[in-house]
Amino acid sequence: MREQLEEIRRRALAELGDGAVEAAIENVRVRVLGRTGELTEIMRAMRTVPNAERPALGRLVNEIKSELEGRIATLSDALKRAAMEHALGAAQIDVTLPGMHIPRGWLHPVTLSRERMLEIFAAMGFEVVETQDVEDDFHNFGALNFPADHPAREMQDTFFLPGGLLLRTHTSNGQIRVMEQRRPPLAIVCPGNCYRRDELSVRASPMFSQIEGFMVDRAGAITMGHLKGVISEFLRAFFGQGIGVRFRASFFPFTEPSAEVDISCLLCAGAGCRVCKQSGWTEILGSGMIHPNVLRAVGYDPAEYQGFAFGMGVERTSLLKLGVDDLRLFFENDLRFLGQFRSASEAAS
Ligand code: PHE
């Protein structure tokens, strides 16, 4: 039995060598020290051993047991420590690694243009007022002197909403909203989104933005001359001092007289090219003296007050300024396109 015990010890210690893996250790623990393990079996067989030999054999069993237990504990500790060191090592911060790139945004070219436009008007003393996108017929059409049967009110142009509401088709509702609330003198610019039932194409979009501007004061104080002065000043500040500006008689229900404003073609500088259809000019905005009916609609007496108004598309104006040839580029949000205006955005911020 003594030899048997020595054999158990020798085998177990061989298996519990320095490189022993967890499974091997567990294997020895169960096989040798377990409840039905080899040492337990020996203890059970002790009955058959002569009395005189029993104490010495018992001691040997205990000695082997604690030796193996000690060895198992040592090995398990080492394994645990190694596992922890491994985990800590993996989580260690390597300060020499390149940092994580966190992309930083920049302003959209249309936003940049809008801000530049508003800045120019602000420098001329205009106040910026935002008005609502969801309107009623009165503020978008009626008060602006649109006849009841005007085609712009029809389904193909206007997005109608339930409850007699609609999405504004222009920022001219801003004139009505502001004048209803306030009395002259007024010098206001209203930026905002507008909506029309147009397909998205090279030159049109169902959603776009405009800047409306108007100036109202005592009759005689604000004339067509002021309109020409403010608009020319704005266009030269925005497009460059050398730009040609032309006022052309036109028609809008809410202005009388009305004028469309052209700038000399930015591409050919007025010589005539494909973009300006050989005319040398590009249309840029609508304007005019506010119609007496519009003043009446907001409770102003046209004999007492007079003013001018203008409105222009922000995308269209940006497009000309930036030399972009397709309006859709402004709405697609392709970073390869938008990224080209990044330095302009950074310079502005
Ligand atoms: N509201 C007109 C448009 O959308 C522009 C305009 C505004 C014209 C003010 C004259 C005066 O085309």
Average pLDDT per consecutive 10 residues, the chain (349 residues; last block may be shorter): 86 86 87 87 84 85 88 89 83 82 91 96 98 96 91 79 95 98 98 95 93 97 97 97 96 96 89 85 96 98 98 95 91 93 82
**Would you state the CATH architecture of domain 109-348?**
2-Layer Sandwich (3.30)
Looking at residue 155, what is its pLDDT?
60
Question: Scanning the structure block, which residue is given the tokens 């206001």?
Answer: 188
Q: How far is the CA of 108 from the centre of ligand 1 (A)?
A: 25
- Residue 171 confidence (pLDDT): 97
Task: Give the per-residue pLDDT at 4.
Answer: 86
pLDDT of residue 156: 64
For the sheet with 160-161, list strands across it: 134-136, 165-167, 160-161
Q: What is the pLDDT of residue 255?
A: 97
* Ligand 1 mean position, distance from CA 141 (Å): 12
Ligand 1 atom having least distance to the Cα of 175: 9
pLDDT of residue 38: 86
310 lines ligand 1 (CB under 6 A): yes
Closest residue by Cα to atom 4, ligand 1, is 170
Q: What pLDDT is attached to residue 343?
A: 86
CA–centroid distance, 287 to ligand 1, in Å, is 6
- In Å, how far are 115, 265, 277, 281 from 243, measured between CA atoms? 20, 9, 18, 10
Nearest atom in ligand 1 to 311's CA = 7
Enumerate the domain spans of the chain: 2-90, 109-348
pLDDT score at 34: 87
The alpha-helical segments, DSSP class H, found in the chain are: 2-15, 22-28, 38-45, 54-91, 109-123, 137-140, 173-181, 224-239, 292-297, 314-322, 329-332, 335-338, 342-348
Q: How far is CA 337 from CA 108, 109, 324, 331, 334, in A?
A: 10, 10, 10, 11, 5
What is the structure's pLDDT at 135? 97
Give the count of beta carbons closer than 10 Å to the beta carbon of residue 284.
Answer: 24
Q: Which atom of ligand 1 is nearest to the CA of 172?
A: 1
Sign of the Cα torsion 190, 192, 198, 202 reads positive
**264 CB under 6 A from ligand 1?**
no
Cα–Cα distance for residue pair 20/47, rounded to 1 Å: 35
